[in-house]
Amino acid sequence: MFAHRRAVRALVVAATAAATLMSTVSAQANDIPPPGEVVTSPNVTHVGTLPKLPGLEATTNSDIAFQGDYAYVGNYGGFSIYDIRNPTRAKLVSGVLCPGSQMDVSVHGDLLFTAVDNSRNDDSCNSVGQTADIKESWEGVRIFDISDKKNPKYIKAVETACGSHTLTLVPGKGRDQRRNVYLYVSSYNPSAAFPDCQPPHDKISVIKVPLRKPTDAAVVATPVVFPDGGNETQPGLLLPTSGCHDITVYAEKDIAAGACMGDGVLFDISDRANPVVTERTTDPNFAFWHSATFNNRGNKVIFTDELGGGSLATCNEATGPTRGADAVYEIVKGKLVFKGYFKIGRHQTDTENCVAHNGSLIPVKGKDIMVQAWYQGGVSFVDFTDPANPREFGYFERGPEPDGGRGGIWSAYYYNGYVYASDFRRGLDVLRIDDRLTDPAKRVRMDRLNVQTQSSYPERRH
């Protein structure tokens, strides 16, 4: 049976020394912290919380991208820029009020790309929402010039079919790498009533961005991912497959993993503008394939299942450990081979929306370790080196939202020694983990991190 929350603290200390704490260590519902109160394992420190840009207080924080000494946090109403050169004294620099959910973000050089999957009356930052059945409605990708961090400038919009729920930045290949970047735009939910989002959809949009003249960015391809239709009849699906929710690329290896509603897929991306599906799988326990993370060697991938669409309380005993979870796969001769599930064992209340969400690798030689967001389940540190037996060895969370509403951590990513977690309501949490499993990562430095654009870290001693 699950251990009590206070007993978990002692067990995590033991795990830090012996590396034996398994993911089944958990808390009973009656050990839930008081509303809003921070609780951590002993190896995790809450450094602080950075506020949202004024004007974004009432809208939801979403994804994060990093470059140099800055973090860029998306928000349904725009984005915020933070100076994180000293994470213990990080500060808000600026941002932009520019509504249109979800505001998924990626950064490259002086360019910030944001995704809009919310039908607007035009592409401006003064737009208002209007229904997608109006032909003139706009949704897609906005591009900002961030060369002046205190004064970002909106420079271009690209409309895409069914909008842009998420976007993935893909570097060019070979000589093209200095000339262009590409964006894989994921979208879904077509309707015969939507002029620019017709069924069956089943495709992604590829935007080519010339780096010397980003205002010439345009859609150059719309490859169909599911020419024979995706997974539409499996019982328990949140939505039938009509496109992809998110794609993670590993450009060095010319591969990508697609989390595509009812399907998990692998792509060959050797031709950047024409990704080709090479493998496809389904899972009877998955309701909605949400996101993907490769390990450093590119021979494993974790897919997440957003059971309930992020709105429901699914981190409880009734839901169980195999739904709303991570699924760990090995890639064997190009095929996805299922190895095991991971789900936090820290049960949440029936008011707390909680399910597997966005995370990133922690760069440790010879280990497969990640940090991951779970909405009101907080932040989990997971070792999946043994793919059949992934385990949690640290955590951060808060008690339920005081008003009983939705909240929690959208994304939690490791960047240069710290973890940054975007909280729906509060802003940007800064965390530090001190653990023998993760300490080697402190010697690995990155100059940019778009989590869905994976690049390798050295598999050698630093």
Written as one string, the DSSP assignment of 25-59 is --B-GGGPPSTT-EEE-TTEEEEEEEPPPTT-TTS
- Residue 6 has a pLDDT of 29
How much of the chain is helix, strand and coil, in % rounded to 5?
A: 10, 40, 50
Residue 13 has pLDDT above 70, yes or no: no
First-residue to last-residue Cα distance in the chain: 41
Q: How confident is the model at residue 462 (pLDDT cuts 50, 70, 90)?
A: very low
Question: What would the pLDDT profile of 41-68 be if each residue is shown by its tens digit?
Answer: 999 999 999 999 999 999 999 999 999 9
For residue 362, what pLDDT is reported? 98
Q: Which of 17-31, 222-236, 300-314, 347-361 has the lowest mean pLDDT?
A: 17-31
For the cut 90, the answer to whether the pLDDT of residue 27 exceeds it is no
pLDDT of residue 37: 96
**pLDDT value for 66:** 98
Query: Average of pLDDT values for 368-397?
Result: 98
State pLDDT tens for residues 327-374: 999 999 999 999 999 999 999 999 999 999 999 999 999 999 999 999
pLDDT band at 4 (very low <50, low <70, confident <90, very high): very low
**Whether the Cβ atoms of residue 80 and residue 150 lie closer than 8 Å to each other:** no
Mean pLDDT of all residues in 257-280? 98
Banded model confidence at residue 459, pLDDT cuts 50, 70, 90: low
How far, in Å, CA of 107 to CA of 65, rounded? 6
Name the residue with tokens 């760990």: 328
Euclidean distance between CA atoms 148 and 38, whole angstroms: 35
- Compute the distance between CA of residue 250 and CA of residue 456 in angstroms, rounded to an integer: 8
In the sheet that holds 78-83, the strands lie side by side as 91-97, 78-83, 70-75, 61-67, 448-449
Residues with Cβ within 8 Å of residue 221, at least 6 apart in sequence: 205, 206, 273, 274
| For residues 19-30, average pLDDT | 37
Residues 188-213 pLDDT 10s = 999 999 999 999 999 999 999 999 99
Contacts of 166 (CB under 8 A, 6+ apart): 63, 102, 104, 115, 185, 186, 245, 246, 247, 452
Considering the four listed CATH numbers 1.20.1050.10, 2.130.10.10, 3.90.550.10, 3.40.50.300, the one that applies to the domain covering 5-454 is 2.130.10.10
Helix, strand counts (H, E) of the chain: 1, 31
pLDDT score recorded for residue 125: 98
pLDDT in tens, 66-97: 999 999 999 999 999 999 999 999 999 999 99
H-type helices in 121-213, by residue range?
none
Q: Mean pLDDT throughout 228-240?
A: 96
Whether the predicted pLDDT of 7 surpasses 50:
no
CB-based contacts of 87, cutoff 8 Å, min separation 6? 47, 417, 418, 430, 432
The predicted pLDDT at position 305 comes to 98
Question: Can you point out the beta strands (E) in 121-254?
Answer: 138-145, 153-159, 166-171, 180-186, 205-210, 218-221, 246-250
Residue 12 has a pLDDT of 35
pLDDT recorded at residue 31: 80
User: Which of 425 and 462 is assigned the larger pLDDT?
Assistant: 425
Q: Do residues 429 and 409 touch, judged by C-beta distance below 8 A?
A: yes
Which pLDDT does position 207 carry in this prediction? 98
Q: How far is 62 from 411, CA to CA, in rounded Å?
A: 7
Q: Give the least confident one: 2-6, 290-294, 380-384.
A: 2-6
In the prediction, which pLDDT does 458 show?
78
How does the average pLDDT of the chain come out, rounded? 93
Mean pLDDT of 113-139: 97
Residue 22: pLDDT band with limits 50, 70, 90: very low
The whole-number pLDDT of residue 403 equals 95
How much is the pLDDT for 18? 35
